Structure 1
Amino acid sequence: MSTPDTLTTLPAQVSPPEFALSAVPPHAINGAEVLALPVLPGDGPGAGVLLGPGADEVGEQLGTDLLALLELSAATGKAGEVTSLPVPLGGADNEALRWVLLVGIGEQRPIDFRRAGAALARATKDRSAVATSIPALAGPGGLEAFVVGAMLGSFSFHWRSVGPEHVPVERIVLAGMPDADGLRAELQRAIALGGAGWRSRMLATVPSNLKNPSWLADQARELAGECALDITVWDEKKLAAEGFGGIVAVGQASATPPRLIRLDYTPDNVGRKTPTVVLVGKGITFDTGGLSIKPGEAMVNMKRDMTGGAVVIAVMGALRTLGCPVRVVGLIAAAENAVSGNALRPGDVVRHYGGRTSEVTNTDAEGRLVLADGIAYAVDKIAPAVVVDVATLTGAMKVALGQRVGGFFANHEGLATALAEAAEAAGEPLWRFPLADVYEEKLRSSVADADNAPGGPGAITAALFLQHFAGDVPWAHLDVASVGDSPKEHHEWTTGPTGFGARALLTWLGSPDPLEVLG
């Protein structure tokens, strides 16, 4: 009788496209299977559409009226709209050519270029090379947005024995770029941002029969080695000895014990007084709800309940490429919320790092218990200028916002503004909610400092619960439960776990002075 295979490693995963810059027009790129040209809306209603750089040469080469094709297809030029022209016999100067794609770029804002990049990626899966002049029309931020959209629109994960069903296009040449050499730094920044989004999605998508707290720590160790980060990992014994009662309690029922992972980034050539930002991520590698067990249907996507931890890991890996000017510490509070004979019970009291206590009235409100330890440790040991936590925390946020916008809270106006602006620019929009102290009384417990699951507006009371651990430190809480999963393909979002938040945080931390907002 054969022994069942144990899943101990990931299968070979697909990779995002490679990118190259070229001053050569798209039709002159040898070996390109696909040429992608930009389409712009005409000026005013009924004005038709316009074609961007490279279109005249391609139309002449193929003997085709591309504008007539667009008119026949009722194309509007809106961002992400794709009109396809097959070229089965190849082009006169490029025998490899098989398709010409005419891609709408709308109003030519960064969001439009991001959507155009994602649409191009979806239309060119399984191809070897694409040449496109779409970014040649991009203004500030447009090239970055296009590359990020193309990377994330092609995201794929598989566990098939015969390999993935489809793979991203291997190479995208950004053609017709007159200042190709001068754009290399912008391209590298874009690849770092898109790569962080890809990494956070991948980690969130890995199934939990492989992904557990120890595995997540191993991923962080691998990243630390690649990206020149320092790393410290607390095992269950060290966590208990040092008073991380929330993390220990949530993870005590699992066969795979909890971990606290710390990653440290120090920018090159900085002084000792350089301020520190701390990011704290919820790393619940699977959430059954514990004894307050979830319905089966609600448990299906709980492999992604460590999205906050995935985001922190992905952000830490991209900081050096982006030239982040401040120190950053990433803390990932990792545990599996399982069910067994020694599971955390409703009515138990947990003592967090630093001494504050919580009465557990619902074991499915476990994320705040582990985040509380991480925030309290950061304030006590790191003396941060700012703390930001990120978590798929409350179903209430999904009720409030649907599945396309994340929510956040902040106790500092400047920090709130900076995060909201960075999130909007990155394409990961956040909507601010109030830390309404009128609901503070709902946290009261007769036996502890706070109830972990009071009634009332769930997202707000969860934020109020966490605020106590931040003290007077400028702090923001990103509750991305609303956007933890994309229900369908939608521009750069692919169906399934989203890894939402990595691009927003990196856009903020990669700015010239992310802490200017503190005054």
Structure 2
Amino acid sequence: MARRSSSSSSPFPSLPGVAWQPGLPVHGSPTWVIVVGDESGLPAAAKEAGERLGVDLDRLLEVQQETGFSASAGAVAAYPLLAGEVAEIVLVGAGDGSPKDLRHAGAAIARFGRGKDELTTVVAEGIDDAALQAFAEGVVLGSFSYTLKTVDPGKPAVGKVTLTDGTADARQPAVDRGVVVGRTGWLARQLAITPSNEKDPAWMAARATEVAAATGLEVTVWDEKQLAEEGFGGILAVGQGSTRPPRFIRLDYVPAGATKKTPYVVLVGKGITYDTGGLSLKPREGMVSMKRDMTGGGSVIATMSALRELGANVRVTGLVCSAENMPSGSSYRPDDVIRHYGGRTTEVKNTDAEGRLVMADGLAYAVKELKPDVLVDVATLTGAIKVSLGAMLYGGMFATDDALADNLADAGRISGEEVWRMPLPPEYEDLIATPIADSVNSSKGPGSITAALFLKAFAGDIPWAHLDLSSIAESPADRFEYSIGATGAGARLLTTWLTGEQPTAGIG
């Protein structure tokens, strides 16, 4: 296995600049954005801004409201100016002023600003750090795009967004944190949306290695020979039908001043770089978005990238279990029996239930070799979770520890990637029982629950949570802070959780 830690050029995309300006800028940009609350109305600095721009902003707001503008989160109305250095004023709704609504407002500003060099943006005086951070996250997330077009690729992201509330307050730290958290979502999306003719397990390992080099992490990669030597039977089985062999990726973060008492968390991410279903072949419609079936692994890599910059005070190891699930003469078959890392066996009933097979190896490795205080896995694991929770509002969460569940749910609410706790009833364990092996990988029972119960057996006695995020992994349109396509689900949630003051509080 390869093991290294070094520095290199940045693996991160070029993001729009987001800067805090104490006091109103003397000149500003050709476009001024005024953020309007649905009850608070215009920000306090708007009067001074209007005088400087020669516009009665109160009257402008009245006129726009008469023509249908509301201050709901993300609503936009532009007003051109015919003279002066400023070309237009834009009103953007901030809803109730909550972090969630301000994240949506920031994304709307970013979409409006495509192709522009700079936007000067006036926000409400007294906006707290959480709301300001969310606003900056929205600017970054709303700026996301990915295209390989050579003709008419679209307008580039806004170059810079300058934020001010007109006061002399210095607020850049909250803005900077928002940019980094937003960057994790951007990176996870970029990894997920990359087409699979480019993206395979070795590509995932290369991207993780670049991130590690840029952010002070240690990286270890197992190739197919090392996986076979050490008994990673699940990852090997899923990957054996492809000409592009599997990889197991480990990233390690240790905070400055860490001791033996520093809490230790392990993340395990599903890294299926393309999922045809294997011999249990999916229909064409079911394959179309399967380049993003490594969203869990991508979110782990993206989360790990932010820990040092945001000063996480826990030790964290990120594990990515990466394979390509393809049909061929060498594919694994229904009724095969797999021996996972550590020895537990699984009878295969459906080769399209492959994610849990690779994740099982990662969980077993974490339990046997790493012995963390907390274990969390993240995956686009089942279509069944969409049946339970619908799409785009909640991801599924299963947990063996109430405090862990509460901490993750809180991080979900703060980050905008909300999760809903699902049950782990032992009565359903019989649904994955078989006389041939320790369990089967697929059953006719409640799909997301039986998948979670399958994984639970590999987590041992360590406080464990399983995030099944298939329900929030894809956006049908540009809305809220999302762009159409892969959402990179999980990165902001996990980053928010692990960089909080006490992410492991009460667990165990």
Instruction: Determine whether 1:39 maps to 2:36.
Output: yes
In structure 2, what is the equivalent of residue 8 of structure 1? none
Say whether the 8 Å CA contact 2:45–2:125 is kept in structure 1: no
In structure 1, what is the equivalent of residue 140 of structure 2? 151
Q: Give runs of aligned pairs for residues 232-247 of structure 1, distance below 5 A.
A: 232-247=220-235
Structure 1 residue identity aligned to 2:383: G
In structure 2, what is the equivalent of residue 80 of structure 1? 74
Q: Cα distance, 1:179 vs. partner?
A: 4.9
- Select 2:288's aligned residue among 300, 307, 318: 300
In structure 2, what is the equivalent of residue 211 of structure 1? 199
Query: What's the secondary structure of 2:41's corresponding residue?
Result: strand
Q: Cα distance, 1:348 vs. partner?
A: 0.5
In structure 1, what is the equivalent of residue 476 of structure 2? 487
Query: What's the secondary structure of 2:305's corresponding residue?
Result: helix
Counterpart CA distance in 2 for 1:253 and 1:208 is: 16
Query: What's the secondary structure of 1:477's corresponding residue?
Result: strand
Counterpart CA distance in 1 for 2:75 and 2:473 is: 26
User: 1:338-393 deviations in whole A, cap 9, x for unaligned?
Assistant: 11110011111100001000011000000000000000000000010000000000
Counterpart CA distance in 2 for 1:418 and 1:63 is: 47
Counterpart CA distance in 1 for 2:460 and 2:397 is: 18
In structure 2, what is the equivalent of residue 516 of structure 1? 505
Q: Give runs of aligned pairs for residues 450-461 of structure 1, distance below 5 A.
A: 450-461=439-450
TM-score (norm 1): 0.92
- Select 1:407's aligned residue among 372, 391, 396: 396
Counterpart CA distance in 2 for 1:306 and 1:88 is: 50
User: 1:408-452 deviations in whole A, cap 9, x for unaligned?
Assistant: 100000000100011011100101100011111001112111010
Counterpart CA distance in 2 for 1:13 and 1:473 is: 34
Q: Cα distance, 1:118 vs. partner?
A: 1.0
Q: Cα distance, 1:290 vs. partner?
A: 0.2
Query: What's the secondary structure of 1:210's corresponding residue?
Result: coil
Counterpart CA distance in 1 for 2:484 and 2:387 is: 19
Instruction: Determine whether 1:68 maps to 2:62.
Output: yes
Instruction: Determine whether 1:464 maps to 2:448.
Output: no
Counterpart CA distance in 2 for 1:416 and 1:40 is: 33
- Select 1:104's aligned residue among 90, 93, 103: 93
| 144 and 279 in structure 1: CA distance in 2 versus 1, 3 angstrom threshold | same
Say whether the 8 Å CA contact 2:377–2:466 is kept in structure 1: yes
Query: What's the secondary structure of 2:282's corresponding residue?
Result: coil
Query: What's the secondary structure of 1:447's corresponding residue?
Result: coil
Q: Cα distance, 1:180 vs. partner?
A: 4.4
Query: What's the secondary structure of 2:307's corresponding residue?
Result: helix
Query: What's the secondary structure of 2:309's corresponding residue?
Result: helix
Q: Cα distance, 1:517 vs. partner?
A: 2.2
Q: Cα distance, 1:175 vs. partner?
A: 1.9
In structure 2, what is the equivalent of residue 356 of structure 1? 344
Say whether the 8 Å CA contact 1:418–1:517 is kept in structure 2: no
Counterpart CA distance in 1 for 2:317 and 2:279 is: 33
In structure 2, what is the equivalent of residue 475 of structure 1? 464
In structure 2, what is the equivalent of residue 281 of structure 1? 269
RMSD: 1.6
Q: Cα distance, 1:53 vs. partner?
A: 3.2
In structure 1, what is the equivalent of residue 21 of structure 2? 22
Say whether the 8 Å CA contact 1:14–1:157 is kept in structure 2: no
- Select 2:353's aligned residue among 365, 379, 387: 365
Q: Cα distance, 1:243 vs. partner?
A: 0.4
Counterpart CA distance in 2 for 1:472 and 1:127 is: 54
Counterpart CA distance in 1 for 2:38 and 2:17 is: 29
Structure 2 residue identity aligned to 1:56: K
Q: Cα distance, 1:178 vs. partner?
A: 3.0
Say whether the 8 Å CA contact 1:350–1:360 is kept in structure 2: yes
Counterpart CA distance in 2 for 1:137 and 1:497 is: 34
Q: Cα distance, 1:512 vs. partner?
A: 1.2
Say whether the 8 Å CA contact 1:395–1:481 is kept in structure 2: yes
Say whether the 8 Å CA contact 1:33–1:127 is kept in structure 2: no
User: 1:131-155 deviations in whole A, cap 9, x for unaligned?
Assistant: 1112645224110010001111121
Structure 2 residue identity aligned to 1:272: K
Say whether the 8 Å CA contact 1:347–1:361 is kept in structure 2: yes
Counterpart CA distance in 1 for 2:448 and 2:414 is: 25
Q: Cα distance, 1:88 vs. partner?
A: 4.7
- Select 1:251's aligned residue among 228, 236, 239: 239
Q: Cα distance, 1:16 vs. partner?
A: 2.5
Counterpart CA distance in 2 for 1:29 and 1:225 is: 40
Taking only the aligned residue pairs, the percentage that are identical comes to 49
Say whether the 8 Å CA contact 2:23–2:168 is kept in structure 1: no
Which segment is superposed worse, 225-234 or 63-72? 63-72
| 292 and 88 in structure 1: CA distance in 2 versus 1, 3 angstrom threshold | farther
Counterpart CA distance in 2 for 1:51 and 1:513 is: 37
Query: What's the secondary structure of 2:308's corresponding residue?
Result: helix
Structure 2 residue identity aligned to 1:421: D
Q: Give runs of aligned pairs for residues 380-399 of structure 1, distance below 5 A.
A: 380-399=368-387
| 276 and 179 in structure 1: CA distance in 2 versus 1, 3 angstrom threshold | farther
Counterpart CA distance in 2 for 1:40 and 1:276 is: 42
Q: Cα distance, 1:317 vs. partner?
A: 0.3
Say whether the 8 Å CA contact 1:14–1:168 is kept in structure 2: no
Counterpart CA distance in 2 for 1:228 and 1:496 is: 31
Say whether the 8 Å CA contact 1:224–1:231 is kept in structure 2: yes
Q: Cα distance, 1:41 vs. partner?
A: 2.4
User: 1:6-61 deviations in whole A, cap 9, x for unaligned?
Assistant: xxxxxx996321111111315x343x13111121224xxxxxx7311332234333
- Select 2:319's aligned residue among 324, 328, 331: 331
Q: Cα distance, 1:246 vs. partner?
A: 0.0
Say whether the 8 Å CA contact 1:262–1:332 is kept in structure 2: yes
Query: What's the secondary structure of 2:303's corresponding residue?
Result: helix
In structure 1, what is the equivalent of residue 43 of structure 2? 52
Query: What's the secondary structure of 2:234's corresponding residue?
Result: helix
Query: What's the secondary structure of 1:469's corresponding residue?
Result: coil
